[in-house]
Amino acid sequence: MPASILEETDHLLDAAAIRKTPTLLDCPSCGSVHVAQVLGDNGGISYVCTACGHSWS
């Protein structure tokens, strides 16, 4: 059992880093998986990459 939640999340991030196929929430600009879902100006859903700042909808 992990000693902390940080050890568990490190394991998950390592698994995400070695996967071969992109997911719908990978940043199209830099490829990062660190993507936040935000409410757009028109009430729609947009996404922003917290690694590079790129946003899209």
The CA distances from residue 34 to 1, 9, 13, 42, 48, in Å, are 26, 13, 10, 24, 9
Residue 37, domain member (yes or no): yes
Mean pLDDT of the region 2-12: 65
Q: Is the predicted pLDDT of residue 4 greater than 80, yes or no?
A: no
Name which residue leads in pLDDT, 11 or 38: 38
Q: Residue 48: what pLDDT? A: 94
Residue 17, domain member (yes or no): no
Report the alpha-carbon distance of residue 19 to residue 7 in Å, rounded: 19
Residue 44 contacts residue 32 (beta carbons within 8 Å): no
| Segment 18-33, tens digit of pLDDT | 554 555 689 999 999 9
**Residues of the domain holding 28:** 23-57
Residue 52, domain member (yes or no): yes
Domain count, the chain: 1
